[in-house]
Amino acid sequence: MRYLQLALALSALSLTQCTSLSLEECRNSDWYTLGLADGNRGATATQLNQYQKDCHEFNLKVDATQWQQGYQQGLINYCLPENGYRVGLAGEHYYGVCSNNQFVERYNQGYEQYLVNKRLAEIAERLYAIDSEIGSIDNKLNNLTDKAALLKQKNVLLNEKNHLLDEKLRLRQGDIRFDFRF
């Protein structure tokens, strides 16, 4: 019996907001655990409506009271300010389920850092591509007599590289500010 509950809890954690429940899940779900998992991941309360719709197809009822109790407990965990930062830093969506302004502030801080990290990764990827192109041009320059066009292309790439390196430095210094409001 314990293994069944553990399996159901793990499957509940893997559910997303678009997931439908099967006959077996409707029949055997621990609604408190499912609500807890939904709350812990910051799902909206409309998730219960989807479960009710899914289980209604099998003429089964959802224990909405148990789900709500679990969901509320999960939201307590989810809405902690330090979790807000983690959610934002992971680039996850926030569905406005927390009434806690500290959560939203920390989420915004985490999301700002996520955007900076994402841009830094894009810059690093482009710098790698530029270095590869420059290396290719250098190889061609060694093999060609008409080098003017390739030198011009190399200069354009070097200028782009310098601009990206400057932007990367500014991003790491924290000069850029973002303003997100929910």
Please write the tens of the pLDDT for every residue from 11-66.
Answer: 444 444 445 899 999 999 999 999 999 999 999 999 999 999 999 999 999 999 99
Amino acid in the structure at residue 34: L
Q: For residue range 75-115, what is the model confidence (pLDDT) as tens digits?
A: 999 999 999 999 999 999 999 999 989 999 999 999 999 99
Name the DSSP class of 62: -
Mention every residue, 6+ apart, whose C-beta is less than 8 A from residue 176. Answer: 116, 170
Distance of CA 70 to the CA centre of its chain: 24
Give the side-chain half-sphere CA count within 13 A for 151: 6
Query: Of 39, 63, 41, 44, whose CA–CA distance to 52 is shortest?
Result: 63
Greater confidence (45 vs 5) lies with 45
Question: Sorting pLDDT into bands at 50, 70 and 90, what band is 8?
Answer: very low
**Residue 19 pLDDT:** 59
What local confidence, expressed as pLDDT, does residue 128 receive? Answer: 97
Q: How confident is the model at residue 148 (pLDDT cuts 50, 70, 90)?
A: confident
Q: What is the pLDDT of residue 166?
A: 93
What pTM was computed for the model? 0.67
Helix (H, G, I), strand (E, B) or coil at 175: coil
Tens digits of per-residue pLDDT, 119-146? 999 999 999 999 999 999 888 877 766 6
Question: What pLDDT was estimated at residue 7?
Answer: 40
Compute the average pLDDT of residues 165-172: 92
